[in-house]
Amino acid sequence: MLTVLREEGNLQVEMREGESIAAALRRAGLLAEECEAGGLCGRCRVRLAPADACEPVAEEYAVLSLAELRSGWRLACCHTQDELFVQLPSLPLHRRNEPLLRNDLPCGLALDIGLDIIEAALVELRCGKVLARTACGNSQRRLAPDLRRRETYAAARLPVLRAALAQDIRYLAASLCQAAAIDPLMVSRISCAADPLSAAVLGGGASSGMVSLRGMELGIGAREAYLLPVAGQGIGGSAVAALSAGLPQQERERVLLIGLRSNCELLLADGDRLSGCAVYGGAVLESVGLSCGIPPLSGAAYRLWLWGDAFLPETVGDAPPRGLSFNGAVSALAQLLAQGRISSEGRLAGGKLYLDQEQRLWLNQEDVRSLQLAQCALRCALDMLLQKADLWPQDIDRVLLYGALPRGCSGEELCAAGFLPEVLADKLYCLGNAPLQIAVAALMQEDVRRRAEKLAARVNVFDPLAEVGWEDGFAAALCFPKS
């Protein structure tokens, strides 16, 4: 039996055998939001008493802070214990001298929707100031975890995917408005950068331009959204937005743009020519595909420094480590390859290795395999893109990276792990989350939208998997570089 603590009086909720706390609360009508039931979204936060009744699981370290965990906050979908006191999260009562929700500040919501991670920013429309930022897992993952299955699912059940996406946007909008003390009805505009499939899901079939949000019930004032244009064949609005932010500064400069995300997008600017391709690299490129991976938020380890036989993690916000970002995994991978603890064939000695003293960061054999397949897909697609442009890696002047990168990536470590040719190590620059930045600008500036639309129309896109030699190239790139 659970005892739910409420101001109007405590409530007893019976637990069924094998049932999670979240399921019991939802059955009793106390938990309205659906969640991913895997500790990914964080929507079923509850406070349990006693605080140490349920040991935190790995998924909770990715969503909750250490202070929250110590004070008893848990994800209700991750626990089945009975005989507990449960406190549901609620907005604090207004107190004197505390600000009320502002209803005089026009705002917009900028979104960057990836296959596995959604990042969002609340923007003041009068001056373009970002009031708050946050991120969450993409709930479509629980319906179809990878690109191919999601495409098949969308063909038959697009409204179901759209409802899952609406749930995520509603959660993000509510969290941002609460953090900035803004009335959600003041959010009157939405602009979005997304991969082609996610754009089509949000647009109800349309993947570019203004789309109706009818039926999505987002809890905000906006009734339409602007989708940054897609170029086709896997090149979405996110890639076009990043291209808009990182176009060559000189007319004859050759620039390679790479999106390190599940749908890995590559664009090449060679003078007036724009060409590109996309390949599925897996959820590991957005961190959530790692067994202890978390989005690039507070506590995400983005660099690991070898000190003797141990690693010292460097984290976002200098917070205690809560999980690995993609950067951190690449950092560990490069150094373990150099030490010979991971072979060029991808075998990890011992099958699992803890990377910090508290054992909150680790790589296991499945993580290494996922990284190996991701670097293989990226290298093979890159080789084909350069081959079609009649260029070699040394012909590239700059390499621009974008994606869920908290502090950029080390060029040396990316090359040592096989993601890029060694000759590009000193030419690498990180744009951060350029798609979200362009989505912010597109909320207010019509010329940003027109520029993106013109660029999308210029890109010559091909499907690398349909090219002759893909399978041979993939097999040739499968091994990590030898130390």
Q: What does the pLDDT read at residue 241? A: 92
Paired residues of 274 in beta bridges:
269
Token readout for 208 is 């570019």
CATH topology of domain 2-87: Ubiquitin-like (UB roll) (3.10.20)
Predicted confidence at residue 95, as pLDDT, reads 38
Length of the chain: 483
Instruction: Give the pTM.
Output: 0.78
pLDDT value at residue 67: 67
Q: Nearest Cα to 382, choosing from 263, 480, 277, 262?
A: 277
Confirm if 118 and 135 have CB atoms less than 8 A apart: yes
pLDDT reported for residue 91: 40
Q: Count of H helices and E strands in the chain?
A: 12, 22
Cα–Cα distances in angstroms (integers) from residue 243 to residues 62, 302, 431, 452, in the given order: 31, 24, 10, 8
User: Can you give the pLDDT at residue 93?
Assistant: 35
Per-residue model confidence (pLDDT) at position 264: 94
pLDDT at 121: 96
pLDDT at 19: 85
Closest-CA residue to 389 (of 273, 469, 264): 273
What 3-state class would DSSP assign to 477? coil
**Owner of token pair 């090359």:** 415
At 395, list the tokens.
């012909």
Beta strands in 138-272, from DSSP E residues, in sequence order: 187-194, 209-212, 224-227, 254-260, 263-270
State the Cα torsion 45-51-54-59 to the nearest 10°.
40
Q: In whole angstroms, what separates CA 412 from the centre of its chain?
A: 24
CA 164 to CA 142: how far, in whole Å? 9
* Per-residue b or e along 349-360, where b marks 16 or more CB atoms closer than 10 Å to that residue's CB: eeeebebbeeeb
Q: Kindly list the domain boundaries of the chain, sorted by start residue.
A: 2-87, 107-227, 233-483
Helix H or strand E segment including 121: strand 117-124
Q: Which CATH superfamily is domain 107-227 in?
A: Domain of unknown function (DUF4445) (3.30.420.480)
Q: Note whether 452 and 438 are within 8 A (CB).
A: yes
Q: Which of 346, 347, 361 is nearest to 291 (CA)?
A: 361
Q: What is the pLDDT of residue 255?
A: 93
Distance CA 241, CA 119 (A): 15
Give mean pLDDT in consecutive 10-residue pieces for the chain, a chain of 483 residues: 76 85 84 61 78 74 69 84 79 41 88 92 95 88 88 93 92 89 93 94 92 89 95 91 76 88 93 93 88 84 85 88 91 93 93 89 96 95 96 95 71 92 93 90 94 94 93 89 78
Output the six-digit token pair for 146: 């990878």
Rounded Cα distance, 253 and 249, in Å: 7
